[in-house]
């Protein structure tokens, strides 16, 4: 069940649109350079102390599903 999951993460003190786009660019680069290393399902995770609601709204606009934060 968990054999097809790959987690890509980023860390930032304050989450903004920049960190979301940076994580997406890094994932695109991984897919381009090492397509066989990634699993079928990729979960993107951002560890942050402060999240800005605007960043979450912008993430949804570019089709990033924000499940929430805790």
Q: What is the pLDDT of residue 62?
A: 72
Q: Which regions of the chain are under pLDDT 50?
A: none
Cβ count near 17 (within 10 Å): 16
pTM over 0.75: no
Q: What is the pLDDT of residue 37?
A: 84
What three-state secondary structure class fits 63? coil
Q: How far apart, in Å, are the Cα atoms of 5 and each of 16, 21, 37?
A: 26, 21, 11
Query: Would you say the C-alpha torsion 58, 11, 65, 24 has a positive or negative sign?
Result: positive
Taking the domains of the chain in order of start, what are their residue ranges? 2-61
Q: What is the pLDDT of residue 53?
A: 76
Cβ count near 59 (within 10 Å): 21
Report how far apart the first and last C-alpha atoms of the chain are (Å, whole number): 25
């Amino acid at each position: 069940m968990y054999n097809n999951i790959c987690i890509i993460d980023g860390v930032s003190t304050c989450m903004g649109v920049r960190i979301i786009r940076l994580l997406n660019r890094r994932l695109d680069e991984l897919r381009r350079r090492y397509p066989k290393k990634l699993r079928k399902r990729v979960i993107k995770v951002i560890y942050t102390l402060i999240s800005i609601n605007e960043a979450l709204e912008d993430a949804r606009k570019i089709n990033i599903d924000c499940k929430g934060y805790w």
